[in-house]
Each structure stands twice: as C-alpha cells, then as structure tokens.
Chain A
C-alpha cells in the first residue's frame, strides 16, 4: 500500500529565505508526482507535475525534484515571500493503487 510522508509538518521562516520541503513515498512504481498548494478554506492548486521519467520541473521560484528509486521528492522555494504562506501537499499517482495518494502536507508560514 502506497504511503506518502511529508516532513516537516510545519515550517516558519523569515521572508527572503530559500527553503526545501520534503516528500517520501514507499512504492517507487509511480507514474507521476504532483505538488499542490492549499490556502485556508480553499481547494488545491497544482504547482508542478513531474512524470516518472523526469528528474525535475521548474516554475518561477519553484523547483521540484524527483528521485524515484529512493522514493523522494523535494520542493525548493527560492526567495520566499509572505504570499507563499500556505499548506503544500505532495501526491503520487500509480504504484499499487491506481489513484492519487496524498501526504498530510507541510504548513508553511513566511514572516515579513
């Protein structure tokens, strides 16, 4: 059974810092991995999708990497801003289960 773990559960940083969010998964037979952002009381917004054949994806200040063999992904946020404050969720598709499996998320707070 696929399990997705995100560390840390919460993170508070001062504005301007570069930071890394971690995601690990137990079954490496995945098709893709997605990073989502969730603002309080809102739905999820897809930030980056990495196919299993890819190593990384970039969008603006965000860079996500995927190491399928070790079951790990990282989301790197450069020059963090207060507007980046949200919960970031990692989800994998494939493996033993044919649907998207989510981690519990990392709650990020960027202080001005």
Chain B
C-alpha cells in the first residue's frame, strides 16, 4: 500500500515570497490533515479536511495561509507572503475516516524562510 506522498522535500525561500506544498493521501482515506512542526516542538494542526470539506481550520493563519482539497483527494497548502517564523516542517497526514483512528504521515516538507 502506497503511503502519504508529499512534495517538495525541501524548500528555501526569502521572506515575503510565496510557496506551495502538495500532498497525496493514502487511497481511500477521507480525512486529510496539514500539520506544522517547528524544530523541537510537536506537530500543530493547521487544517483538517473531511473529503473536500474543511472540518477544522481554527489554527490556520488565514491572512497568509490557504489550503484546498479539490475532488477530495490531493491537497495543496500555500503560504503567501512567507515570514521568518514560518520556517518549519509541514506534514501531511491522512486517516480512513477521522481522528479516532491511526494517522499515517508523509515525510514532510522542510521549509526555510531566509
């Protein structure tokens, strides 16, 4: 079974530039999550999708972050404009139905904002 795919693996940008991350969840998984993990911290949920609808985006900085999940499969997370404090690993995860199940994570995208 293929795992959660993410790209790119690494991205270096300057502040005020824009960046986009892509995620393809495990086939058949209805729930998709984007997490932000700052060095030395645990992952923090940015947004949760159930199929192509948003379940929770309460911690997403909506003035600069946006995410979409078209057709309930792939998802993209965008930052525009980036700030220095956005430097982190962005992890995508999926589960079959929701939070009361095991989550499967991708390898993440390491973002450095200079």
Instruction: Enumerate chain A interface residues (CB-CB to B < 8 A).
Output: 4, 31-32, 34, 36, 41-46, 49, 51, 89, 91, 93-94, 98-100, 102-105
Question: How far is B108's CA from A99's CA once the two chains are assembled, in angstroms?
Answer: 19
Knowing A41-B110, A42-B108, A45-B105 are in contact, say whether A99-B40 is a contact too (CB < 8 A): no
Chain B interface residue bracket vs A: 20 to 34
Check A43–B106 contact: CB distance below 8 A. Answer: yes
Check B40–A46 contact: CB distance below 8 A. Answer: no
Check A46–B100 contact: CB distance below 8 A. Answer: no
* Cβ distance B6 to chain A, nearest Cβ, rounded Å: 8
Does B113 sit within 8 A of A, measured CB to CB?
Answer: no
The list of the 8 closest CB pairs from A to B, nearest first, reads A102-B42, A43-B105, A44-B105, A46-B102, A93-B99, A43-B107, A99-B45, A31-B100
Instruction: Please name the residue on chain B nearest to A32 by beta carbon.
Output: B100
Check A99–B48 contact: CB distance below 8 A. Answer: yes
Instruction: Enumerate chain B interface residues (CB-CB to A < 8 A).
Output: 4, 6, 33, 40-45, 48, 56, 91, 93, 99-108, 110
Question: How far is B44's CA from A99's CA once the two chains are assembled, in angstroms?
Answer: 10
A sample of 27 cross-chain residue pairs with beta-carbon separation below 8 angstroms, ordered by A number, consists of A34-B102, A34-B103, A36-B105, A41-B110, A43-B91, A43-B105, A43-B107, A43-B108, A44-B43, A44-B91, A44-B93, A44-B103, A46-B104, A49-B102, A89-B42, A89-B43, A91-B42, A93-B100, A94-B99, A98-B99, A99-B48, A99-B56, A99-B99, A100-B33, A100-B45, A100-B103, A104-B42
* Cβ distance B50 to chain A, nearest Cβ, rounded Å: 12
